[in-house]
Amino acid sequence: MSLYFFRISTGRYSGAADHPYEFRDHDAAWKEMTEVCANLLGSISRNLKPNAKWCMELLDENKQPVFRISLLGETVR
């Protein structure tokens, strides 16, 4: 089992978690991260501004990024 931390780059919940989460491997950590993002995505996308980026990372026990999921709002014209 390995320890992981969630970090969010923008918004009301931005910052890195102080409390580690324990997952048996990277696959289990990825599955949990995608479930957490799915639960947050509705409110995040409703509040995302044009040309803004929201990002969630899963950090290892040394607080180095393992996975990253980003949502980008872009103005194209």
Task: Give a yes or no: residue 14 inside a domain.
Answer: yes
Q: Which residues pair with 69 in a beta bridge?
A: 56
Neighbours of 38 (CB within 10 A): 10
Domain, as residue range, for 48 = 2-72
Task: Give a yes or no: residue 41 inside a domain.
Answer: yes
Task: Give a yes or no: residue 58 inside a domain.
Answer: yes
Total count of domains within the chain: 1
What confidence score (pLDDT) does residue 18 get? 81
Task: Give a yes or no: residue 77 inside a domain.
Answer: no
Instruction: Give the pLDDT of the chain (77 residues) as one tens digit per residue.
Output: 899 999 988 766 667 778 899 999 999 999 999 999 999 888 888 888 899 889 999 999 999 999 999 999 999 98
Expressed in percent and rounded to 5, the helix, strand and coil fractions of the chain are 30, 35, 35
